[in-house]
């Protein structure tokens, strides 16, 4: 394939991308032990052996309006990255998620003759479908986490491969609730509600007050309930603590550092912002309510230019092609509505047989040894 050690450049955009990148690096190294890895990542990729040029958290921007706000900084980082890549001359570039940052980088490198792979298809099936055409010009191959995604690239002759989702490989079909509660210091017998208002400050600011106000009203109906909320960063932990003190003062409320999977596993039900955490809750078989709001400017752009193309947004509903879980978006995300749906999910219970069968079917669909399949797909573009 090549005479010198393989050199792979990777750019991940946030915590979930950092995890994907770390798994990919380990799987490539198992096949190419001397391979070298450089680029942009977080702590997981650094531990996996990636020489990181700046931290993935700098690219953790979501939404049209948010990207515009941070555009000068993102453009500066993109110029710096391209300069380093041109000097390093990797054999293949892998952009992991972060499409607004990575696709232009891939396009520039692809025009210069470098092999490029995009890992995690943008949500072209949901909004901004024109990105599929841009992907075809930027990447030799796109690796899809969801089984319905490859067909959206057929008209563009882009090699799109479903590799499965690493979370489905990592998580067992059943988890020990008592062990999860014990690990987080939660009372073992008390009913537990997990609140996951997002992994970005902007998300927590938009949906956090509704989540916590609704939780306060849930507690009025179920006074013995306890709460747990994971914080992706110390700064987010402070925001969550402020919301707790405002809406749920003096109650059993545990804030944990990261550990989103343990928090979900410890819960009887989950209130969660749309995103990867909804998939974690599905794979951990926990009843959930999904709530989300985009920034007002992003909402205006989406509506003004008709950029949305689906009615469902939560991953469990997209994967099941039905309303598997309640989702409350934008104006539908109200305190009363969220309270009522949360009470329904708590009453349903985590051991409902129909719920477990539906979750197991999706779990099996996504369990494909994703890290290994992704590694083969990346190495395949060099053959």
Q: DSSP letters along 179-225, please?
A: HHHHHTT--TTS-EEEEE--SSHHHHHHHHHHHHHHHHHHHHH-TT-
CA separation for the pair 129, 78 (Å, rounded): 23
Instruction: Give me the helix-helix angle, 335-348 and 201-221, nearest 10°.
Output: 60
CA separation for the pair 139, 58 (Å, rounded): 23
* DSSP 3-state of 114: coil
- Token pair 């230019």: residue: 305
Q: 113, 115, 95: which is closest to 105 by C-alpha?
A: 95
CA separation for the pair 206, 292 (Å, rounded): 8
pTM of the model: 0.85
For residue 81, give every residue at least 6 positions away whose Cβ sits within 8 Å of its Cβ, in sequence order, or none.
11, 39, 40, 53, 105
Count the Cβ atoms, other than its own, within 10 Å of residue 101.
22
Residue 64 pLDDT: 47
Let me know: does 20 contact 12? Beta carbons within 8 Å.
yes
CA separation for the pair 245, 227 (Å, rounded): 13
Query: Nearest 5°: CA angle at 258, between 319 and 357?
Result: 30
Residue 119 pLDDT: 98
Residue 165 pLDDT: 96
Task: Tell me the torsion sign for CA atoms 205, 211, 214, 219.
Answer: negative
CA separation for the pair 262, 241 (Å, rounded): 19
Q: Tens-digit pLDDT profile for the chain (383 aa)?
A: 457 899 999 999 878 899 999 999 999 999 999 999 999 999 999 999 999 998 777 675 544 445 556 667 778 888 999 999 999 999 999 999 988 889 999 999 999 999 999 999 987 766 677 888 999 999 999 999 999 999 989 989 999 999 999 999 999 999 999 999 999 999 999 999 999 999 888 889 999 999 999 999 999 999 999 999 999 889 999 999 999 999 999 888 999 998 999 999 999 999 999 788 999 999 999 999 999 876 666 655 555 545 455 566 788 998 988 889 999 988 899 999 999 999 999 999 999 999 999 999 999 999 999 999 999 999 999 98
Let me know: does 132 contact 138? Beta carbons within 8 Å.
no
CA separation for the pair 98, 110 (Å, rounded): 17
Q: 275, 268, 49: which is closest to 167 by C-alpha?
A: 275
* DSSP 3-state of 322: coil
Q: 121, 198, 200: which is closest to 159 by C-alpha?
A: 121
Residue 118 pLDDT: 97
* DSSP 3-state of 331: helix
H or E element: which one contains 349? none
CA separation for the pair 76, 54 (Å, rounded): 12
Q: Which residues pair with 194 in a beta bridge?
A: 228, 270
Count the Cβ atoms, other than its own, within 10 Å of residue 257.
11
Domain 177-366: which CATH class? alpha beta
Let me know: does 123 contact 98? Beta carbons within 8 Å.
no
CA separation for the pair 133, 150 (Å, rounded): 13
Assigned token pair, 185: 């210091």
Alpha-helical runs (H) found in the chain: 15-31, 43-48, 64-69, 71-88, 99-111, 131-138, 166-170, 177-183, 201-221, 234-247, 260-265, 276-283, 296-304, 315-320, 335-348, 353-366, 370-380
The reply to whether domains 7-164+368-380 and 177-366 share a CATH topology is: yes
Fold of 7-164+368-380: Rossmann fold (3.40.50)
């Amino acid at each position: 394939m090549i005479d010198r050690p393989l050199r792979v450049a990777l750019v991940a955009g946030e915590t979930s991308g950092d995890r994907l990148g770390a798994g990919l690096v380990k799987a490539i190294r198992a096949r190419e032990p001397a391979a070298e890895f450089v680029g942009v990542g977080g702590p997981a990729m650094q531990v996996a052996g990636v020489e990181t040029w700046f931290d993935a958290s700098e690219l953790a921007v979501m939404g049209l309006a948010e990207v515009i706000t941070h555009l000068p900084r993102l453009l500066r980082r993109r110029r710096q990255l391209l300069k380093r890549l041109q000097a390093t001359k990797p054999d293949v570039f892998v952009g992991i998620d972060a499409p607004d940052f990575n696709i232009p980088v891939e396009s520039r490198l692809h025009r210069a003759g470098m092999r490029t792979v995009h890992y995690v298809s943008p949500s072209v099936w949901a909004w901004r479908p024109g990105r599929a055409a841009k992907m075809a010009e930027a990447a030799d191959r796109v690796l899809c986490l969801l089984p319905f995604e490859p067909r959206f690239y057929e008209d563009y002759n882009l090699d799109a491969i479903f590799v499965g989702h690493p979370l489905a490989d990592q998580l067992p079909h059943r988890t020990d609730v008592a062990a999860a509660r014990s690990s987080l210091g939660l009372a073992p017998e008390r009913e537990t509600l997990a609140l996951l208002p997002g992994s970005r400050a902007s998300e927590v600011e938009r949906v956090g007050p509704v989540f916590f106000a609704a939780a306060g009203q849930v507690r009025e109906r179920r006074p013995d309930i306890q709460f747990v909320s994971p914080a992706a960063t110390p700064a987010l932990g402070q925001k969550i603590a402020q919301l707790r003190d405002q809406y749920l003062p003096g109650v059993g409320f545990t804030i944990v550092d990261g550990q989103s999977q343990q928090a979900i596993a410890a819960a009887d039900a989950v209130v969660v912002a749309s995103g990867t955490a909804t998939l974690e809750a599905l794979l951990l078989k926990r009843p959930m309510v999904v709530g989300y709001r985009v920034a007002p400017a992003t909402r205006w752009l989406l509506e003004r230019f008709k950029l949305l193309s689906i009615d469902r947004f939560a991953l469990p509903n997209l994967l099941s092609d039905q309303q598997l879980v309640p989702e409350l978006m934008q104006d539908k995300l109200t305190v009363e509505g969220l309270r009522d749906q949360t009470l329904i999910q708590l009453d349903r219970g985590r051991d409902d047989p129909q719920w477990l069968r539906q979750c197991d079917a999706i779990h099996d669909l996504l369990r494909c040894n994703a890290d290994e399949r992704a590694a083969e797909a990346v190495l395949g573009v060099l053959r």
